Amino acid sequence: MSYELPPKEKLREIAARQDAKEKEIRETRARRSSKCNQLPNEQEAAAEIIQRNYRGYRERREMRGLGLSASTRWFDAIQEARYRNSTQPMSRDERARHASTHVSTPGNCEAREKWKRVGQIAKHAENDDTSSDEDIEDMNPQERDVYLRRKREAKAEREKMARTMGIEYFLEMVDQKHRYGSSLRKYHKVWQESDTKENFFYWLDFGSGKDVDLPERPRTRLDEERVRYLSREERQKYLVQIDDDGMLCWAKNGQRISTSPEWKDSMEGIVPITDNTTPTWRNTTGRQEISASSSGSESDSDISVGSSEDASRYVNQELHDAKGLSKLKHLSANTIMNDLLR
């Protein structure tokens, strides 16, 4: 089936109608544009007011510790990427090849790579709530000296109260999946007794230990029960302040903290249990997780939903394992408070 070409007069008529329609569209757009440009000064003034108010609001939140600047977010992202790269499970051969490509002296590459990983892990475990050292660049020499002196004094004060991190906390922190520390410890004992030279996490997930399934801690439970380490921005939702009456309250809204069952943990921090609009971490990820900041704080509401055995033994494990007078070595205000909370 074929169509005949219209005569030239008909084609000219169609072209004229199209030109008229295009002209009408252009005139309509021009009228709309002229209306928008009638009050440019008022629009610019309104935009400046909005921007000025928002900048003030953002700076006030940052000064109160409730907001993060873009540079801080980038700094945290880079630090986290470096840490995850240094703790990525690898076989000994892969680790040696990786180290040899970065170090010019092959004889020392493995040792240097190990010390580098140790430094990354120690830095990550020490404290990630402090501000970036990039802020020093904006200080004059006197301010820089005062800042560094106060930083050294604060570090020395922390070292007085420092304690060795328990093996369960360490395994949980270094594990990129952040599986429950008490579960990892059971598999860690098997790894210590096995005839292998592989890294524990490589052995557990990729090596000869990937098929190990302990009756007292099945592999399914090992993989399902995890701790969610909150980022710096997420931890802003759990900041606590002391009000004028000496009571603990949430910094985000000023409400006093309560341990009653009328509250629950969520992606927006602690919210009323009647709040069905805010999803929880468990609903989002589809598996059992415990919200915890990388500085060690935990959400007890999620712990209570998990294993009661772990809830009573996981915290203060050294105190529970100690016998007789040796318990006094592990006794402190923190251990007593942790036991009372559970």
Tell me: pLDDT of 271 over 70.
Answer: yes
pLDDT value of residue 82: 76
d(CA 17, CA 294): 69
Q: Compute how many other C-beta atoms are within 10 angstroms of the C-beta atom of residue 266.
A: 23
Whether the CB-CB separation of 183 and 225 falls below 8 Å is answered with yes
Tell me: pLDDT of 133 over 60.
Answer: no
Go through 167-186 and write b for each residue having 16 or more CB atoms within 10 A of its CB, e for each that does not.
ebbbbbbbbeebbbbbbbbe
Ramachandran angles phi, psi of 8, nearest 5°: -60, -35
Strand partners, 249: 241, 256
d(CA 171, CA 185): 7
Q: Each residue of 66-79: pLDDT tens digit?
A: 566 666 677 777 77
Strand partners, 272: 263
More confident residue, 78 or 137: 78
Among 149-158, 211-220, 279-288, which is the least confidently predicted range? 279-288
Among 135-139, 211-215, 302-306, which is the least confidently predicted range? 302-306
Share of the chain above pLDDT 90, in %: 7
Q: Residue 179 in 3-state DSSP?
A: strand
Tell me: pLDDT of 189 over 70.
Answer: yes
Task: Quickly state the pLDDT bin for 135 (edges 50, 70, 90).
Answer: low
pLDDT value of residue 297: 39
pLDDT value of residue 191: 93
More confident residue, 96 or 204: 204
Tell me: pLDDT of 313 over 50.
Answer: no
